[in-house]
Structure 1
Amino acid sequence: MPIQSSLPTGQIVFDPRGTVTASAVTLAPRVSTLEGARVGVLDNSKWNASKLLRQTIGLLEADAAPGAINRYAKDSFSRVAPAELLDRIAAENDVVITAIGD
């Protein structure tokens, strides 16, 4: 939450830094190879993310021989992916690639 203070003139100034509360999260297990793996690709709907992901998929298909490439897209880059979409991605893939491209 931003910190608020008042100037002698009565104007209110907000410090946008605020505070961040976070807890430790265990990382997902890593796969030893992408060969034969089901690879999920989540596009956040920004143009440059899509370009980066297309190139990454091309390199991955040429070098790693994944079993499947499953593509997904968020409706809007400014919103979190719906829980149902994340659950579907987790169920249908061994690994996931995503990108943010501004």
Structure 2
Amino acid sequence: MDFALPALIVALENERKTNEALRNMITSLNDELEISRHTIKELNLQLNASKGLIQEMNVQLNSTKKALAIRESQIESAVLQYNKLMETAIAYRNDALRKRHLIT
């Protein structure tokens, strides 16, 4: 019995040290988990901010596309108008040339 008591004391001390080491590991893991949660929250905030910026940029892009379409339509209309004016001017010039030829 004299040998059993010291062995039991050593075993209990080893178990206590093991339990303390496990507690420290659990505490460390909990700390890392909390840091990870905080990081995830920050990343989600940044993601949401980025989504907002992207939506705003899409609105601006659509507005720019509409403005460009309007401008393109205006340019096409101006080109058609110019072409008609040139046709009229050429017709007047040709008519004037014909009349001058008839007079001389």
Normalized against structure 1, the TM-score is what? 0.19
Higher strand share: 1
Greater relative CO (CA pairs within 8 A, separation 6+): 1
Larger Rg: 2
Higher helix share: 2
Normalized against structure 2, the TM-score is what? 0.19
